[in-house]
Amino acid sequence: MTSALQTLTRYFSLTAIVFSLLASARAASETYVIDRVHSSVGFSIRHFFSKVPGSFTKFEGAIVVDREHLEKSSVEVTIDIASVNTASIKRDDHLRSPDFFDAAKFASITFKSKSWKKTGEATFDVTGDLTLKGVTKEVVLKVRALGFGPGMRPGSQLSGWEATTTLQRSDFGVAGFDKMLGEDVDVHINVEAGVKA
């Protein structure tokens, strides 16, 4: 009877340790949801001799962060292609057409990270799969963590990020108009994200 009791006690002790470790692992990561009101997804492309800026105004995503080991973090983002905005209705409608994004057929751009490589005190090369116009390519975002801290609402926790990359539009089937438009598209992203309740 004593042996059975000892075995049972050891079992419950091990179970308690396992649950404690799992709880610690969960506590180590935080999910920050992107705040669209305080974030931006922008781009620029050469038009003849100057660069024309644009942005996407509708997007959503989340960053799962291990603040002790940021290189273990991950991010997923979805961008609504129809929300493209270059301050010209005519140009935006053309960008949504099959000549460019074909928004009626391909509604979104997605990015899902695969690895975070630390390159500096608060900088990372974030490698992931970008899907645009039905084509998936591996791209690297140059990411900087801007900080973590409380927001305006009691108990709220925020994080700030910025990221840049350069894409070749023909890699994703957004080709044509080569004499007028450049091949490289510079992407610049600013993010404020809050901890998911």
Rg (CA), the chain: 22
pLDDT at residue 12 in the model: 46
Please write the tens of the pLDDT for every residue from 61-106: 999 999 999 999 999 999 999 999 999 999 999 999 999 999 999 9
Going through 71-122 in order, the beta strands assigned E by DSSP cover: 74-80, 84-85, 108-118
Q: Are 106 and 92 in contact (CB under 8 A)?
A: no
pLDDT of residue 172: 97
CATH classification number, 29-195, choose in 3.40.50.300, 2.40.128.110, 2.40.50.140, 3.10.129.10? 2.40.128.110
The pLDDT assigned to 153 comes to 85
pLDDT beneath 50: ranges in the chain: 5, 7-9, 11-26
Please tell me the predicted confidence (pLDDT) of residue 16: 44
According to the model, what pLDDT value does residue 27 have? 52
The pTM score is 0.84
Q: What is the pLDDT of residue 28?
A: 75
Question: What digits encode the pLDDT tens for the residues 28-39?
Answer: 799 999 999 999
pLDDT of residue 197: 58
Amino acid residing at 109: I
Q: How many CB atoms lie within 10 A of CB 101?
A: 22
